[in-house]
Amino acid sequence: MAYTWTFNLTQTSDIGAQLSKASWPQVAGQEININLQFPSSTVNQLVPVVFTIASLQGLMMVASQPMTILTNDFTTPGNTISLAANVPIFWGKDQGIPVPGFTVDVTQMYVTSALAGRLQFKVLKN
């Protein structure tokens, strides 16, 4: 089964003028959807997820509160990603830029959050 994400990006100015607009599809064979609620004072909560950088076709992360994600090992993480509250990160392979935040293959993630909040993490991969 193929999964298709369509990225739609619109940039506007503070006076409402549309400066640019783009749209492109991203297709892959597998989709991972993580939608978890964390209590306040969460420290290094294990989130089982596995993907390789080479397999990634799309990525989306958003947290309702500031959160930190560590990959693979919480004492010597492969990557450390700091998410601001309600500031999504979207990435599609066809953008031609490196995957934001990830430089190594992921075998698991650990989430830390001082405040209670929700993490949405979605991966499109082959």
- Look at residue 12 and tell me if it is in a domain: no
Is the Cβ–Cβ distance between 105 and 59 less than 8 Å?
no
Domain of residue 32 covers: 28-125
Tell me, what's the pLDDT at 20? 87
- Look at residue 1 and tell me if it is in a domain: no
Give 94's pLDDT tier (boundaries 50, 70, 90): very high
- Look at residue 16 and tell me if it is in a domain: no
The pTM of this model reads 0.89
pLDDT tens-place string over residues 38-60: 999 999 999 999 999 999 999 99
At 54, which amino acid appears?
A: A
- Look at residue 7 and tell me if it is in a domain: no
Structural tokens at position 18: 């549309």
User: How many structural domains does the chain have?
Assistant: 1
Angle at CA of residue 111, ends 82 and 124, nearest 5°: 80
